[in-house]
């Protein structure tokens, strides 16, 4: 194990026996060794090799059942590997599944002493840190109540407060933080950042792509118990999303492509004498827009058309390649067709982008004074195209499309589609803008003495 490694995992595998019926376990125990098997084996982890350096923050991503939590439990020592070995340097604190390490009959205060003792603190050390633990947990008089009466949020508050106040050199966090409210999650991630700055190693499982890209130095992709990829968070998260949203029949092919790419990257990294040019690194981690055929809105609302129909609303790159997984800062085309069934006057077409909660982020409409839109004949096809620079921050968004015309008395919708298409803006750790939209704000700092 190298001197700068905090965690080293060598050939770790974990097999769980599965019995079709409860009594088969007993029958297998009573049968002569090797004579008869009453179980099948589930391989939760398969030959994991991994070395995590001191001071690094590593995010573990993967589909449900990929082995993420099993790997963390083996690192923490709450599970023993079937094969392989794990070495951890320094004091380890962990926040795993909800309530792990708590005695439900003990009060919160008693569990603080119990948990902190398990994590390696003496009684005097616990008492010195008790005020900080109780202040962070902020559960008031419930600290003197049995934890079996706690809500899930209170469980997490107290467990996390203990874990971070034992001054860990390795902090392991499973998805437990997703239980807390938004304010508490911000508080937790702020403290994790301080722990990182103090030089600790942090491992955590998260389904939040943005969190992994923002917080991590490295990311790991697990799938089916196998380590498919490790590398730059942006690259790993992008391929992870490509895998989980791929059609079932394409997933095996994508898995093998990811594995092959990983092997070539690892081979390059282990050749320490060969320097990788900075330009090559940037090109290899550059995000590219792509199309996910399963990213389809389930909330489409179509107005009753009054002589025209909107069709084929979609996003594409400037060279016409259809996409719905977008890269921040790049330009795209939002296109749809309007097919008329009657003559229309002063036609204009519009679009709108909305968030998942329905907030209108921005939109545009064509100029009704355009000569060709003054009178549109029946059986015409209008191809509408809006060129958009994607300045939205990472997240999921929905598109509207609408066609209006002058009906004599007023301007009315001839056809309108709400949530007709959807897209995602992929995470990118280089984005410094906040909220929904990047306003391309320049910043500067002046020192005055």
Q: Which tens digits make up the pLDDT trace of 330-381?
A: 999 999 999 999 999 999 999 999 987 678 899 999 997 888 899 999 999 9
How many other CB atoms are there within 10 angstroms of residue 157's CB atom?
A: 24
Whether 5-90+169-284 and 301-425 share one fold: the answer is no
Helix 123-137 and helix 108-118, axial crossing angle in degrees, nearest 10: 130
Answer for the pair 210, 132: CB distance below 8 angstroms, yes or no.
no
71-97: string of b/e by CB count within 10 Å (b at 16+)?
Answer: bbbbbbeebebeebebebbeebbbbbe
pLDDT at residue 401, as a whole number: 97
The better pLDDT of the pair 348, 430 is held by 348
Least confident range of 106-110, 215-219, 395-399: 215-219
Q: Give the pLDDT score at 403.
A: 96
Residue 408: which residues within 8 A CB-CB, separation 6 or more?
none
Residue 263 has pLDDT above 60, yes or no: no
In the chain, domain spans = 5-90+169-284, 301-425
CATH class for domain 5-90+169-284? alpha beta
Phi, psi of 340 (to 5 degrees): -95, 150
Residues facing residue 325 across a β-bridge: 290, 424
* Average of per-residue pLDDT across 172-188: 67
Report the share of the chain in percent with pLDDT over 70. Answer: 88
Contact by Cβ (8 Å): 394, 356: no
- DSSP-derived 3-state class of residue 308: strand
Cα Rg of the chain (Å, integer)? 28
Q: What band does 272 get if pLDDT is binned at 50, 70 and 90?
A: very low
Q: Considering the domain delimited by 301-425, tell me its CATH architecture.
A: Distorted Sandwich (2.70)
Number of C-beta neighbours around residue 358 at 10 A: 10
The model's confidence at residue 21, banded by pLDDT at 50, 70 and 90, is confident
Whether 252 shows a pLDDT value over 70: the answer reads: yes
Paired residues of 381 in beta bridges: 339
- Is residue 277 very low, low, confident or very high in pLDDT (cuts 50, 70, 90)? very low
Q: How confident is the model at residue 409 (pLDDT cuts 50, 70, 90)?
A: confident
pTM comes to: 0.58
Q: Please, which pLDDT band fits residue 266 given cuts at 50, 70 and 90?
A: very low
């Amino acid at each position: 194990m190298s001197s700068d490694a905090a965690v080293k995992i060598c050939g770790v595998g974990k097999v769980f026996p599965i019995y079709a019926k409860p009594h088969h376990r007993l029958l297998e125990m009573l049968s002569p060794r090797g004579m008869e098997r009453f179980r099948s084996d589930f391989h939760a982890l398969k030959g994991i090799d991994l070395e995590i350096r001191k001071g690094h923050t590593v995010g573990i991503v993967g589909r449900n059942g990929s082995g993420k939590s099993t790997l963390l439990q083996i690192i923490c020592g709450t599970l023993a590997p079937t094969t392989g070995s794990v070495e951890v340097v320094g004091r380890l604190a962990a926040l795993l599944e909800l309530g792990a390490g708590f005695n439900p009959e003990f009060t919160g205060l008693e569990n603080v002493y119990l948990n902190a003792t398990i994590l390696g603190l003496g009684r005097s050390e616990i008492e010195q840190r008790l005020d900080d633990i109780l202040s962070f947990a902020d559960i008031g008089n419930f600290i003197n109540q049995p934890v079996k009466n706690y809500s899930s949020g209170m469980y997490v508050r107290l467990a996390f407060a203990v874990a971070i106040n034992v001054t860990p050199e390795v902090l392991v966090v499973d998805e437990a933080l997703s239980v807390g409210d938004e304010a508490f999650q911000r508080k937790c991630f702020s403290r994790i950042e301080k722990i990182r700055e103090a030089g600790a190693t942090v491992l955590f499982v998260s389904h939040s792509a943005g969190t992994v890209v923002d917080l991590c130095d490295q990311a790991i992709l697990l799938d089916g118990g196998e380590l498919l990829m490790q590398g730059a968070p942006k690259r790993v998260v992008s391929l992870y999303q490509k895998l989980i949203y791929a059609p079932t029949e394409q997933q095996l092919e994508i898995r093998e492509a990811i594995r092959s790419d990983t092997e070539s990257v690892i081979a390059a990294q282990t050749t320490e004498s060969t320097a990788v040019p900075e330009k090559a690194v940037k090109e290899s981690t550059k995000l590219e827009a792509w199309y996910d055929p399963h990213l389809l809105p389930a909330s489409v609302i179509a107005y009753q058309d009054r002589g025209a129909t909107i069709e084929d609303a979609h996003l594409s790159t400037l060279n016409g390649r259809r996409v719905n997984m977008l890269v921040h800062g790049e330009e795209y085309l939002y296109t749809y067709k309007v097919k008329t069934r009657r003559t229309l006057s002063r036609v204009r077409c519009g679009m709108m982008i909305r968030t998942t909660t329905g907030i209108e982020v921005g939109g545009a409409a064509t100029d009704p004074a355009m000569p060709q839109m003054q009178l549109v004949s029946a059986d015409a096809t209008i191809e509408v195209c809006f060129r958009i620079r994607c300045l939205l921050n990472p997240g999921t968004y929905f598109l509207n499309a609408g066609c209006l015309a002058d009906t004599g008395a007023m301007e009315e919708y001839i056809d309108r589609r709400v949530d007709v298409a959807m897209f995602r803006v992929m995470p990118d750790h280089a984005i410094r803008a906040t909220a929904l939209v990047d306003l391309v704000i320049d910043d500067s700092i002046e020192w005055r003495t």
